[in-house]
Amino acid sequence: MKKLSILPQLAVSASLVFAGFTVQADEVKGNAAAGNPKVWLCVGCHSIPDYRADYPFVYKVPMLGGQNAAYIASALAAYKKGERKHPTMRAIAGSLSDQDMADLGEYYAAQTASSPINPLK
């Protein structure tokens, strides 16, 4: 009986998996204009200077204007996956698609710390 090596099959399978990740990552490109109508989820906390949330603990809420787009998208993804634990952020991120996260990241990257507090005007 002829023995078949499983290594070539594993190599092909692994390359297809990694190719899929690359294609998926390339498909999601954020758009700042598309992020504008989505920031209503964020402005209630992240547009108030020196705002502190008190549930479940006292937490200084960061201003997001000028933040790196990829950082914002990855932070939202981490909340959605449960890797970051703040319950409010976890609930909000859970409602967002990868496209929403990328759009919000681009929107805030295009802002500055002194951008208007209400971006929907």
pLDDT in tens, 52-79: 987 767 889 999 999 999 999 999 999 9
Whether 105 is covered by a domain: the verdict is yes
Whether 46 is covered by a domain: the verdict is yes
Provide the residue range defining the domain that includes 68: 29-109
Binned at pLDDT 50, 70 and 90, residue 116 comes out as low
Query: The domain that contains 102 carries what CATH number?
Result: 1.10.760.10
pLDDT at 41: 87
Give me 89's structure tokens.
Answer: 């952020």
Three-state SS sequence of 64-89: CCCCCHHHHHHHHHHHHHCCCCCHHH
pLDDT at 35: 96
Predicted TM-score (pTM) of this structure: 0.72
Instruction: Give the number of domains in the chain.
Output: 1
Lowest model confidence (mean pLDDT) among 9-13, 30-34, 99-103: 9-13
pLDDT at 101: 98
CA distance 74 to 80: 10
